Amino acid sequence: MSCKPPWPARPRRFRFLKVRPLNKPLLQLLLTRITLAVVTLFAVSIVVFAATQYLPGDPARAALGAKADPSAVEALRRQFGMDRPAVVQYFSWIEGALTGDFGRSIPSGRPVWEAIGPRAVNTLILTVTSLLLLIPLSFVLGILAAIYKDRLADHLISVPTIVTVALPEFVIGTVLIVLFAVYLRWLPPVSLINDSLPLSSQSSLFILPVLTLLGTTLAQVVRMVRAVALEVLSAEYIYMVRLRGISPARVLIWHVLPNTITPTIQTIALNAAWLAGGVVVTESVFQLPGIGSALSDAVINRDMPTVLAITLIITATYVLINLVSEALILLLNPRLRVARGNN
């Protein structure tokens, strides 16, 4: 006997994610946000540039060593344009940055992008994978915990996530290494990715770092989802929907989930932004060559062009993630989507 679904067949898309043609007020809001993001980025670039100018230590001297000939140091400074006024330096730097040219690394003389490019890719894979796991996982776990509030499933979800959020990533990383690399011997203890080999053959090297990042971010999002879902579950409209004889699965997917997503976007965005910058420790625990480790190397070497480039990349990601989350919140808000004049 065929089992007909209780509602008519229709494409199973998440209709609530479907965006109608943008209307004028919404477009204005989005444009404002984008403008603000660009302004923020410029402001940050000025602050970061100014900070590197006043950072103690002379990059040229750091590159040539303490006993270097003063005239050689001076020559190097001229070579990198560091003898020009700061304002001029900033404009020539920002001009290059806008076209993707971040200048040359001071000790090696190689273009900055050449040095950090592959590392940025590694970091990108690490953070994006973590994020792609984080979002569905936190919704499933958070809503489950809310449904089974104060029962076993809730405790099984809540206790471990709270424990892991309380631990710094180097502790989680170390525990994972001890467990999976030293004891079980399933995975390598360090993630020394070889640039010359295809990344696909080295995917297992990402497992432990991704787990570490998940461990530090999951709890916060799960807690948030749980709290929001609890509120939604006890909302009057959920009772009403249930008392109309709608199946629990449908109530969950069409009524609980959509109303849980929007308030949690901000939390997810915060965690995503944190992932973009906060991978430094995780990368160093696993010796994974990413931009986090590149940044700490560059700071030690007073490699200002590299420091500037990485800081700018991290901030840009931060700003971009916030922009995306704000745009999502605006787009998912039916009030703005259908704005028909003011009320």
Residue numbers at the binding site for another protein (CB under 8 A): 6-8, 16, 234-247, 250, 254-255, 258-259, 332, 334-335, 338, 340, 342
For 209, residues 6+ apart whose C-beta sits below 8 A from its C-beta are 126, 173, 191, 279, 282, 283, 285, 286, 288
Nearer to another protein, 92 or 234 (CB): 234
Q: How far apart are CA 320 and CA 314, in angstroms?
A: 10
Nearest to 217 by CA among 148, 152, 132, 153: 132
Amino acid in the structure at residue 4: K
CB of 244 to another protein, least distance (A): 4
Nearer to another protein, 1 or 243 (CB): 243
Nearer to another protein, 110 or 242 (CB): 242
CA dihedral 282, 286, 288, 291 (to 10 degrees): 20
Q: How far apart are CA 13 and CA 16, in angstroms?
A: 9
Bridge partners of 198, per DSSP, are none
Nearer to another protein, 68 or 336 (CB): 336
CB of 225 to another protein, least distance (A): 16
Nearer to another protein, 175 or 328 (CB): 328
CB of 17 to another protein, least distance (A): 10
CB of 338 to another protein, least distance (A): 6
Q: How far apart are CA 125 and CA 116, in angstroms?
A: 14
CB of 237 to another protein, least distance (A): 5
Nearer to another protein, 115 or 256 (CB): 256
CB of 9 to another protein, least distance (A): 9
Q: What angle do CA 223, 229, 230 make, to 5 degrees?
A: 90
What one-character-per-residue DSSP string does 85-123 give?
-HHHHHHHHHHHHHTT---B-TTT-SBHHHHHHHHHHHH
CB of 326 to another protein, least distance (A): 18
Residue 83: Cβ within 10 Å count:
11
Nearer to another protein, 61 or 250 (CB): 250
For 237, residues 6+ apart whose C-beta sits below 8 A from its C-beta are 255
Work out whether the CA dihedral 146, 150, 154, 160 comes out positive or negative.
Answer: positive
Q: 104 φ, ψ to 5°?
A: -115, 145
Nearer to another protein, 44 or 235 (CB): 235
CB of 249 to another protein, least distance (A): 12
